[in-house]
């Protein structure tokens, strides 16, 4: 009976995957920035905060911004799905409406996380946000770990993974975009790597030597690192190919194209094309997400039953 999945459930699962990934990535980015800021007292707080806002696509306004404001807006704001709390709340509601499709353990993970956040938020006011951010990271890892170990590799699971992958590409691209497009707000490369959870993996591959082109190459093109754009695109494409039948899949096509382009890109070309590539990546993910929506979860129009009545 698990051969089919309701459109509504598929949509909820995709967004659950997306929102948990978003909370996780946002948590990592905040953590990396906070850490840098503390370790380097000469850094300009206002500037660093602005670069954070830029990454996450939130308007910073004209006033000076400090870390507390960033946290209030990007971590604790329950009303915005761009913040950690908002994203986790939305993930919980989506999982709740798909409770017979996600495993109990996955649902409990999200639900207990949601209940634990309030305490950690209060604690963060006293001792700083680290425990809060760590909780988010751990729970996100737990959630996806549970998805991998308690769900069948059926369409339900594919929608969760698809959502996670698309969000992952988006977040990685956002991180790099700030570096590439707006040098004034640019984070340095170690911050960038640790914000993607990639610092250690990168150090192992490149023996600890870093510069921006190499970091960009790693975060975009590395085949083995799960947060690289190439890896996430490949995963998304695999999910779509297992979900879909049509030859010309409008959901798969845009990301498939990008994937092949990345696969054969050499490092010089990468450097030259970087700005264009990043915006193409973002476009492709958006186009794919829209196509998924149209194909798998078409929204019902207004209810019509006049002719059924007879």
Partner 1 sequence: MADIFDAYALADAWDEMFERPGEVRTAYEPVLAALQPIEPSELRFRADQMARAFTDRGVTYAFAGEERPWPLDLVPRILDALEWDLIQRGVSQRVRALEAYLADAYGPARAFEDGVVPWRLLLNSPHFHRAAHGVEPPGGVRIHVAGIDLVRDEAGDFRVLEDNVRVPSGVSYVIENRRAMTRIFPSLFSEQHVVPVDGYAQRLLAALRAAAPDGAQDPRVVVLTPGPSNAAYFEHALLARLMGVQLVEGHDLVCRGNRVWMRTTRGEVPVHVVYRRLDDDFLDPLHFRPDSVIGCPGIMSAALAGHVTLANAVGNGIADDKLLYTYVPDLIRYYLSEEPVLPNVESFRPDEPGQLEAVLDQIDQLVVKPVDGAGGQGIVIGPKADAATLERTRKAVLADPRGFIAQRPVALSTSPTLAGERMAPRHIDLRPFAVNDGNDVWVLPGGLTRVALQEGNLIVNSSQGGGSKDTWVLAEGPAEPPAPAAEGASGLPEVAPRQHGPDGTPTVVQEGAQQQ
Which residues contact partner 1 (rule: CB under 8 A)? Answer: 1-10, 93, 96-97, 99-100, 104, 107-108, 111-112, 115, 155, 159, 243, 296-298, 300, 303, 305, 308-309
Q: Which of 87/106 has CB closer to partner 1?
A: 106
DSSP, residue by residue, 20-42? HHHHHHHHHHHHHHHHHHHH-TT
Tokens (6 digits) for 30: 């905040």
Neighbours of 274 (CB within 10 A): 20
Q: Which of 116/180 has CB closer to partner 1?
A: 116
Cβ atoms of residues 37 and 48 within 8 Å: yes
**Phi, psi (5° rounding) for residue 102?**
-85, 155
Nearest to 283 by CA among 249, 254, 247, 243: 254
The nearest distance, CB 304 to partner 1, in angstroms, is 8
Helix (H) or strand (E) holding 309: none
The nearest distance, CB 266 to partner 1, in angstroms, is 39
**Phi, psi (5° rounding) for residue 81?**
-75, 0
Q: Which of 184/306 has CB closer to partner 1?
A: 306
Q: Which of 7/241 has CB closer to partner 1?
A: 7
Cβ atoms of residues 210 and 193 within 8 Å: yes
In whole angstroms, what is the distance from residue 219 CA to residue 203 CA? Answer: 12
Q: Which of 156/228 has CB closer to partner 1?
A: 156
The nearest distance, CB 247 to partner 1, in angstroms, is 17
The nearest distance, CB 101 to partner 1, in angstroms, is 8
Start-to-end CA distance of the chain, whole Å, equals 32
Q: Which of 104/267 has CB closer to partner 1?
A: 104
The nearest distance, CB 152 to partner 1, in angstroms, is 11
The nearest distance, CB 291 to partner 1, in angstroms, is 13
Q: Which of 108/272 has CB closer to partner 1?
A: 108
Q: What is the CA radius of gyration of the chain?
A: 20
Q: DSSP class of residue 169?
A: H
The nearest distance, CB 81 to partner 1, in angstroms, is 18
Tokens (6 digits) for 104: 């109990």
Cβ atoms of residues 82 and 90 within 8 Å: no
In whole angstroms, what is the distance from residue 238 CA to residue 256 CA? Answer: 10
């Amino acid at each position: 009976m698990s051969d089919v999945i309701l459109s509504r459930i598929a949509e909820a699962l995709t967004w659950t995957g997306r929102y948990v990934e978003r909370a996780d990535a946002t948590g990592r980015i905040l953590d990396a920035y906070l850490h840098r800021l503390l370790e380097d007292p000469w850094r300009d707080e206002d500037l660093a905060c602005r670069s954070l806002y830029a990454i996450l696509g939130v308007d910073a306004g004209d006033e000076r911004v400090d870390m507390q404001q960033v946290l209030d807006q990007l971590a604790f704001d329950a009303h915005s799905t761009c913040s950690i709390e908002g994203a986790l709340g939305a993930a919980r509601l989506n999982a709740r409406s798909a409770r017979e499709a996600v495993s109990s353990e996955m649902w409990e993970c999200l639900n207990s996380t949601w209940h634990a956040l309030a305490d950690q938020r209060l604690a963060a006011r006293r001792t700083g946000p680290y425990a809060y951010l760590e909780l988010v990271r751990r729970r996100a890892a737990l959630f996806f770990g549970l998805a991998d170990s308690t769900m069948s590799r059926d369409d339900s699971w594919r929608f969760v993974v698809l959502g996670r992958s698309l969000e992952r590409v988006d977040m990685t691209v956002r991180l790099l975009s700030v570096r590439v497009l707006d040098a004034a707000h640019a984070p340095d490369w170690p911050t960038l790597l640790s914000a993607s959870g990639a610092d250690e993996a990168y150090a192992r591959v490149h023996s600890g030597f870093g510069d921006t082109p190499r970091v960009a190459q790693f975060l975009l093109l590395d085949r083995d690192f799960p947060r690289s754009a190439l890896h996430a695109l490949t995963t998304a494409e695999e999910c779509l190919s297992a979900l879909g039948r049509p030859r010309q899949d409008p959901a798969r096509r845009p990301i498939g194209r990008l994937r092949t382009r990345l696969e054969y890109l050499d490092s010089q070309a990468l450097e030259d094309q970087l700005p264009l590539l990043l915006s193409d990546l973002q476009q492709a993910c958006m186009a794919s997400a829209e196509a998924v929506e149209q194909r798998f979860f078409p929204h019902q129009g207004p209810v019509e039953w006049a002719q059924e009545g007879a």
